[in-house]
Amino acid sequence: MRKIYHSSSRRSFLARTGVLAIGSALPIGLVADDTAGKKERIIDIHQHIHYHARTDEQMVTHQEAMGVTMTVLLPSGRPANTASTHQGVSNGLQAQAGGNAECYLFSKEHKKHFRFGVCAVPDATDAAYEIEKYLKLGAVIIGELKFGVECDAPEMHKIYQLAQEYDVPVLMHWQHGMYNYGFDRFYKILEQYSRVNFIGHAQTWWANIDKNHADQSVLYPKGTVTAGGITDRYLSDYPNMYGDLSAGSGLNALTRDEAHARTFLEKHQDKLLYGSDCADAFGTVASGKCSGADDIQAVRALSGNRQIERKLLYENAKKLLKL
């Protein structure tokens, strides 16, 4: 494997050249060798570059170790001190994640194994311009949208309209009191933008698989799940609503009540997609810190059959993101 630049080198490169310096070669190693095509294919729809200062080399190693054959890099919006970033607290998706230019350049240099999304701070004056710029360059998804803003705010409508125009899904981080407010009325957006596919993610999204989840401040509930929560209903009632299985929140939803999880995966087998959203550097269950690897293991253990497993780990994402 050829030398991989660490995040500091890449940021220096971006500062010198800007996003339009596409012809400049970035000598970064590939995710897998020529035997990758023989491996079971897995698409990871939710990963970040420079996640909590993880280097490019560590991220590549992480994805290889999990057996992922295609990764979608979700960028952060540019740093901004606005209400939606909690005056800068949420810059870099509150995780030091790299932005649009970094994800774009990395993906373009590694087309075989990486694709890129686009993100912008919704209340930034150039948000719509920034998003459309990268959609024209080939972004396959808008997100993740992780900002302190009402889900039906005017600036969010502009983003949904771009998603509709360019026919790409929107991935939203639902976290009560912090990111994307108004989960209980999001059905209005699903109805208004019926041609836009939305992907739900994070704590509030996964806590609400349970019909009895009353205290929205509890982000990682435990114990038995009663079917019929808001999330369950959104997935059932709206053809344009999908779910991202990533992170500790997705893993918790699968493992807190395995009997429910088996039924849930079967019921929504065409609406759920695997993502890792994991910041560790190893990509293995043995590390004890990799929710992405644990998620793959849980999907394989709880899927009722091979067909469901393949949908969750590969086929649904391939179809939805046109990969």
Q: Concatenated DSSP letters for 160-176?
A: HHHHHHHT--EEEE-BT
Q: What is the mean pLDDT of residues 261-266?
A: 98
pLDDT for 60-85, tens place per residue? 999 999 999 999 999 999 999 999 99
Residue 189 confidence (pLDDT) above 50 = yes
pTM: 0.89
Mean pLDDT of the chain: 90
pLDDT tens digits along 205-232: 999 999 999 999 999 999 999 999 999 9
83-120 per-position pLDDT tens digit? 999 999 999 999 999 999 999 999 999 999 999 999 99
Give which of 186, 201, 175, 199 is closest to 153, Cα–Cα: 186
Residue with tokens 């806590």: 207
Q: Distance between CA atoms of 277 and 173, rounded to whole angstroms?
A: 11
Which sequence spans correspond to the domains of the chain? 38-320
pLDDT in tens, 237-249: 999 999 999 999 9
Average the pLDDT over 251-262 and give the result: 98
Range 299-305 average pLDDT: 97
Indicate the class that CATH gives domain 38-320.
alpha beta
* Residue-wise pLDDT tens digits, 4-52: 434 444 444 344 334 433 333 333 333 333 344 467 999 999 999 999 9
